[in-house]
Every structure is written in structure tokens, then in C-alpha cells.
Amino acid sequence: MSILKKPNIKAVFLDIDGTLISFKTNTIPESTHKAIQSLREKGIKVIVATGRSINSLDHIRHITFDGFITFNGSYCITTEGKVMYKTFIDSSDIKNLVKYSEDFPLSYSLMYEDKVEINDAAPEVVGMYAHVNLPVPPVHDKENIDMDHVLQANIFLEKEDEKAFMEKIMPNSSASRWSPLFADVNHGGITKSTGIQHFCDYFNIDTSETMSFGDGGNDIAMLKFTQIGVAMGNANDDVKKIADYVTEDVDNHGIESALIHFGVL
């Protein structure tokens, strides 16, 4: 995409894990905190865009944002608590997933508006939740699974098996991946860019006035969609490849550096 030499940025969208928050320290760097404050003082909207649940954001609540894109775009909510958009995975796909896991070894989690459940506490599942500094969710009762209101699923399978699995088991859904261990699954066609469009409409901002930061595979659609897409220095190679700019990593003032580079700060 073309980039304005002096972009008139009115909204900045930020991934959380590996972008806002360091995997090394599990904290937000002070330079990032100050950059967010400076953006908002200039009237620029700052909106979180994450694959996390709306209920797993306590560690960033000490910072004021202008909205939250959660579940990779499946659930968008304002700071005031107004739900702007939500969409569920097709229930037939969830039924297929549950049935498949009964016949073959597959770990998964089901994410709802008010809870997260897993089908087993396999080592890879426990390790993933430790990686993002979250408690391991409870194992669900297989006889009482809510198939109709799943906003996102995590499926623990190898990347090379993902395409065939999705086509056969969850054909109405889309998968994105920021970890080699698992894929995020959402309603077909939903990405973080879906949420960006909703917030642009809400705040009357054109996409040519947007900027985004990310590091994982589930950020690719977002980085392509905004006028300026910035990959963190610690980003996956496929993310860096499509980004308009690669900044320093999260632990080396990457967000602040890119904002200064483009004259936004």
C-alpha cells in the first residue's frame, strides 16, 4: 500500500502479546505507556486489537484506551462498555470439532463472552496459558457444551495439518496463527481488520488515517488493512514480510520508535 510522507493518523491499533506486552517481562514498557498517553493527548484514538478474551485484559486496564477489538475481531466493545459488534462461530463447526476430538487426540479451548473452557489440560494447553500469563481454564462438561455462542476456539494442531482440518471439520470458520502450537479459529472471514472497520465507522475515521502494530500471524490482516502496518522487531518473519515498516522489538521501545519515525509523535 502507499504511505503518506506525513500521515494524518487519527487512530492507532495495538496488538497485546508481543506488541504492547513483552513476553520476557509480562509488562508494558514505560516508553509504550507514555507514547499511548501522548497519542491520546493529541486526540488520536488508541484501540487494542487482540485475540484475547474481553475478560483477560486486567493486566492492561491501568491504561486508558478508546476501545477493544477482542477475539480477533469477533467482539468489539467501547471503553464505556457498549458492544459494537459480535459474531459467533457456526455451531455446526463446533459440533464437528467436539466430535473429532472424541475420535482423535486433539486439544482445544472454547472462548465465550463470559468464560473460557478447555477439553483437556494437555501440556501444550497448560504451556500456552502460562506463556500469556493466564490461569488454565476449567475442563468443560462434554454433555453440556454451549455450541451456539463460541466467539473463538483455539485448536492445538500442527501448522501443516491446519488447512485440511479446517476444510473438513470447520469449513465455515477461518484460522490464524501466532504460535506454532495452535491456531485461533473465528467465524469465517473475521479478522482484526473487521474490528478496525467498525471502530473507524464509529469514530468517523477513514482507514487512510489509521496505523497498526503487531507481531503474530493473526495481525497480518490488520497490518495490511491500515494505512501504515508496523511489525515489531520480535515479529514472525511472515509478518515482517508484509509490513510497511519493521520497528524495534517490544523490549526496545518499538512502538515509540515507529511513532516517532512516521512523525505521529
Tell me, yes or no, whether 2 lies in a domain: no
Residue 47, domain extent: 11-86+190-261
Tell me, yes or no, whether 113 lies in a domain: yes
Which of 186, 216, 238 is the last residue in one of the domains? Answer: 186
Long-range contacts formed by 136-141: CB under 8 A, 24+ apart: 137/109, 140/110
| Rounded Cα gap, residues 51 and 151, in angstroms | 10
CATH number at residue 99: 3.30.1240.10
Tell me, yes or no, whether 81 lies in a domain: yes
Selection from 195, 191, 196, 198 nearest residue 177 by Cα: 191
Q: What is the pLDDT of residue 181?
A: 86
CATH number at residue 39: 3.40.50.1000
Q: What is the pLDDT of residue 2?
A: 45
pTM (2 d.p.): 0.91
Which of 138, 163, 186 is the last residue in one of the domains? Answer: 186
Claim to verify: residue 106 and residue 181 sit in the same structural domain: yes
Claim to verify: residue 181 and residue 95 sit in the same structural domain: yes
Claim to verify: residue 30 and residue 73 sit in the same structural domain: yes
Domains identified in the chain, total number: 2
Tell me, yes or no, whether 229 lies in a domain: yes
Q: Residues with Cβ < 8 Å from 177, sequence gap 6 or more?
A: 159, 162, 183, 184, 216, 217, 218
| Rounded Cα gap, residues 194 and 100, in angstroms | 29
| Rounded Cα gap, residues 45 and 65, in angstroms | 8
Residue 21, classed as helix, strand or coil, is strand
Claim to verify: residue 162 and residue 206 sit in the same structural domain: no
Claim to verify: residue 202 and residue 254 sit in the same structural domain: yes
Claim to verify: residue 29 and residue 80 sit in the same structural domain: yes
Residues of the chain with pLDDT under 50: 1-4
What's 4's DSSP letter?
-
Selection from 49, 89, 46 nearest residue 69 by Cα: 49
Q: Helix 254-261 crosses helix 30-41 at what angle (to 10 degrees)?
A: 40
Q: Residues with Cβ < 8 Å from 248, sequence gap 6 or more?
A: 232, 233, 254, 257
| Rounded Cα gap, residues 8 and 196, in angstroms | 17
Q: What is the pLDDT of residue 123?
A: 87
Which of 186, 203, 223 is the last residue in one of the domains? Answer: 186
Claim to verify: residue 82 and residue 201 sit in the same structural domain: yes
Tell me, yes or no, whether 254 lies in a domain: yes
Tell me, yes or no, whether 156 lies in a domain: yes
Q: What is the pLDDT of residue 106?
A: 94
Tell me, yes or no, whether 4 lies in a domain: no
Claim to verify: residue 111 and residue 180 sit in the same structural domain: yes
Tell me, yes or no, whether 107 lies in a domain: yes
